[in-house]
C-alpha cells in the first residue's frame, strides 16, 4: 500500500473529517504536508539508537549553513523555542541556574517586547515568555513604539528583548528590526526573533538578531519541531536547557533528523518555481471568483515579505447577506471542511492561501464559495454558526458541534480528499 493510500486509510479507519487547508501553515490544522525526504529521514533514524548530543551537533552544522548562523539546535516547536531562548538569556550556560528555573532569584529576568508584538498566534506569546520565570516589560502602545521607549526600558534587570515577525502583530508603527537590534546591542541585550512562520532563514540574523526561531513544520515541511539559530554561546545555553525546563520541550531523534533533511532540501529547492506555481494557482482562483456580487478580489503580497501572494476576498455583507467571519465558519463546517485564512483585524475580508492546497482543492474551494454565496438557504442558516470544529477545543473529548450546511454542497467529499501526494 502506498504512502498516499495509507493517508486516506487512516482518515477512514479513525473516522477523521477531511480538511482542505487554504489558510496556510497552521499548526492547529496539522501545519504542513511533510515532504517525502523529511519523512524518510525520520523513518530511517527511528530504527536506530543515536547519541542525541551528536545528532544535535550535526543539526547545528546544517542550521549554521542554511541560516548563516554561528550555531543552532532543534527543539519541540517554535513556541517551545520562545520559552527556551528566554530561559537561555536568563541563565546562560550555568547548569545550577538552568535546573533552578522558573526561580530567577538574583538573575536578570526582564524581557522587553513592543506591545504591538505581544500577540496571540493561537498560543499567547506572553505566556511562552513567562513560562521559564521571566517578567514582561512592554513598551509603546498596540500601534506605536519608538526607539526612545526601547532605550529607556533597557536596564539592569533586562535579560533579552523579543521581536515578533508575524502577520498577527501590528504591521505599522513598530520599531524596525535593524534599529531595534542596534539599540539593544548598544546595551549588551540579546535580541530574540520569533520568525516561526517566516520563509527567509537568513534575513533576521542579518538584521542584527542574536537568536531566531523557526517552525520546522511550516514552510519547511518537516516533522513537528522548532529551530533555534544564532549566536553560539546563546544557542549552547538553549540546548543546555534540556537539563531543565527544556526537558519538557525536547525534540526526539525523528524530529531532529527530519529537520536536518528539511533544511538540506530547502537549500536546494527552486524557490522561484514554487512562487510561480502559487501565483498561477492564486490567479486562477481569483478569476473564478470575480463575478460574485458583493465580493471584490485581489492578489495580496504577504505582509511580512514571504514570497507568496494570496487571494483577498473583500465581502460587502450588505450585498452578499453574509459577513466574512460567518462565511469562513460556514465553509469550515462543510465536508470537506474548508479553512480560509483570517488573522487580521479587518472584519470585512478573508484570504485564500495557494501554498497549502492542490489545484484540484483550490477548485473545490472556489466552487464552494461560489455555491454558498448563491444559496440563500445556506446564508440564512449561517447566522449563528459556531467556531470551526478545528478551532473549538471546549467540547473535547466530545465532538464539537458540526453543522451540516443544508445547501446541497456541490463537492461533498469523503476521506479520499486526503489521498494526495506528498510534495
Ligand X SMILES: *Cc1c(COP(=O)(O)O)cnc(C)c1O
Interacting residue ranges for ligand X, rule: CB under 6 A: 27, 77-79, 121, 164, 166, 168, 194, 196-197, 215, 226
Q: In the complex, what is the shortest distance from the CB of residue 379 to ligand X, in angstroms, rounded to a whole number?
A: 32
**CA 138, CA 150: separation in Å to the nearest integer?**
9
CB of 82 to ligand X, least distance (A): 7
Q: How far is the CB of 213 from ligand X (least distance, A)?
A: 7
DSSP strand pairing (71-75 vs 226-230): antiparallel
Q: Which is nearer to ligand X, 24 or 389 (CB)?
A: 24
CB of 299 to ligand X, least distance (A): 22
Nearer to ligand X, 80 or 379 (CB): 80
**Choice between 166 and 255, CB closer to ligand X:** 166
Least separation in angstroms between residue 117's CB and ligand X is 9
Instruction: Pick the closer one to ligand X by CB: 129 or 369.
Output: 129
Q: How far is the CB of 122 from ligand X (least distance, A)?
A: 8
3-state secondary structure the chain: CCHHHHHHHHHHHCCCCCEEEECCCCHHHCCCCCCHHHHHHHHHHHCCCCCHHHHHHHHHHHHHHHHCCCEEEEECCHHHHHHHHHHHHHHCCCHHHHHHCCCCCCCCCEEEEEHHHCCECCCEHHHHHHCCCCEEEEECECCECCHHHHHHHCCCCEEEEEEECCCCCCCCCCCCHHHHHHHHHHCCCCEEEECCCCCCCCHHHHCCCCEEEEECCCCCCCCCCEEEEECHHHHHHHHHHHHCHHHHHECCHHHHHHHHHHHHHHHHCCHHHHHHHHHHHHHHHHHHHCCCCCEEEEEEECCCCCCCEEEEEEECHHHHCCCHHHHHHHHHCCCCEEEEECCCCCCCEEEECHHHCCHHHHHHHHHHHHHHHCCHHHHHHCCCCCCCHHHCCCCCCCCCCCCCCCCCCCCCCCHHHHCCCCC
Compute the least distance from the CB of residue 271 to ligand X, in Å.
20
| Residue number, 227 or 350, with CB nearest to ligand X | 227
Instruction: Tell me whether residue 39 or residue 213 sits nearer to ligand X (CB atom).
Output: 213
Q: Cβ 26 to ligand X, closest distance in Å?
A: 8
Joined grid coordinates for residue 23: 489558510
Residue pair 84/108 in contact by the 8 Å Cβ criterion: no
Q: With left for phi above 0 and alpha for psi between -120 and 50, is residue 349 left, alpha or beta?
A: beta
Shortest separation between residue 80's beta carbon and ligand X, angstroms: 6
Question: Residue 90 Cβ, how far from ligand X at the closest point, in Å?
Answer: 20
Strand partners, 204: none
Q: How far is the CB of 401 from ligand X (least distance, A)?
A: 26
Q: Are 390 and 28 in contact (CB under 8 A)?
A: yes
Nearer to ligand X, 197 or 256 (CB): 197
Residue with Cβ nearer ligand X (66 or 369)? 66
Nearer to ligand X, 78 or 415 (CB): 78
Q: Are 337 and 414 in contact (CB under 8 A)?
A: no
Query: How far is Cα 217 from Cα 259, in angstroms, rounded to an integer?
Result: 9
Nearer to ligand X by C-beta: 71 or 79?
A: 79
Nearer to ligand X, 166 or 417 (CB): 166
C-alpha 376/C-alpha 354 separation (Å) is: 28
Amino acid at each position: 500500500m502506498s504512502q498516499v493510500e495509507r493517508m486516506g486509510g487512516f482518515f477512514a479507519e479513525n473516522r477523521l473529517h477531511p480538511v482542505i487547508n487554504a489558510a496556510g501553515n497552521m499548526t492547529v490544522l496539522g501545519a504542513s504536508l511533510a515532504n517525502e525526504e523529511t519523512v524518510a529521514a525520520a523513518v530511517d533514524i527511528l530504527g536506530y539508537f543515536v547519541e542525541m548530543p551528536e545528532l544535535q551537533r550535526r543539526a547545528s552544522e546544517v542550521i549554521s549553513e542554511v541560516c548563516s548562523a554561528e550555531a543552532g539546535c532543534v527543539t519541540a516547536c517554535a513556541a517551545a523555542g520562545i520559552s527556551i531562548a528566554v530561559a537561555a538569556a536568563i541563565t546562560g550556560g550555568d547548569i545550577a541556574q538552568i535546573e533552578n528555573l522558573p526561580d530567577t532569584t538574583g538573575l536578570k529576568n526582564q524581557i522587553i517586547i513592543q506591545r504591538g508584538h505581544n500577540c496571540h498566534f493561537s498560543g499567547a506569546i506572553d505566556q511562552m515568555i513567562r513560562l521559564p520565570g521571566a517578567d514582561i516589560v512592554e513598551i509603546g502602545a498596540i500601534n506605536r513604539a519608538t526607539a526612545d521607549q526601547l532605550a529607556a526600558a533597557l536596564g539592569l534587570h533586562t535579560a533579552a528583548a523579543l521581536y515578533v515577525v508575524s502577520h498577527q502583530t501590528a504591521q505599522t508603527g513598530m520599531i524596525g528590526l535593524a534599529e531595534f537590534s542596534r539599540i539593544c546591542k548598544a546595551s549588551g541585550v540579546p535580541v530574540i526573533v520569533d520568525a516561526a512562520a517566516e520563509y527567509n532563514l537568513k534575513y533576521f540574523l542579518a538584521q542584527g538578531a542574536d537568536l531566531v526561531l523557526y517552525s520546522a513544520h511550516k514552510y519547511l515541511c518537516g516533522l513537528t519541531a522548532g529551530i533555534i539559530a544564532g549566536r553560539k554561546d546563546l544557542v549552547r545555553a538553549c540546548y543546555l536547557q534540556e537539563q531543565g525546563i527544556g526537558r519538557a520541550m525536547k525534540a526526539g531523534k525523528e524530529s531532529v533528523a527530519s529537520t536536518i533533511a528539511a533544511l538540506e532540501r530547502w537549500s536546494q529547492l527552486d524557490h522561484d518555481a514554487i512562487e510561480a506555481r502559487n501565483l498561477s494557482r492564486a490567479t486562477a482562483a481569483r478569476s473564478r471568483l470575480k463575478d460574485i456580487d458583493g465580493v471584490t478580489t485581489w492578489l495580496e503580497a504577504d505582509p511580512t515579505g514571504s514570497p507568496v501572494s494570496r487571494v483577498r476576498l473583500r465581502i460587502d455583507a450588505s450585498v452578499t447577506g453574509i459577513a466574512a467571519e460567518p462565511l469562513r465558519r460556514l465553509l469550515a463546517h462543510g465536508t470537506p471542511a474548508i479553512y480560509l485564512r483570517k488573522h487580521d483585524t479587518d472584519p470585512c475580508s478573508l484570504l485564500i492561501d495557494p501554498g497549502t492546497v492542490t489545484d484540484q482543492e483550490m477548485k473545490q474551494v472556489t466552487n464552494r464559495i461560489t455555491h454558498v454565496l448563491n444559496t440563500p438557504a445556506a446564508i440564512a442558516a449561517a447566522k449563528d454558526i459556531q467556531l470551526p470544529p478545528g478551532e473549538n477545543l471546549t467540547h473535547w473529548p466530545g465532538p464539537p458541534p458540526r453543522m451540516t450546511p443544508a445547501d446541497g454542497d456541490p463537492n461533498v467529499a469523503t476521506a479520499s480528499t486526503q489521498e494526495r501526494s506528498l510534495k
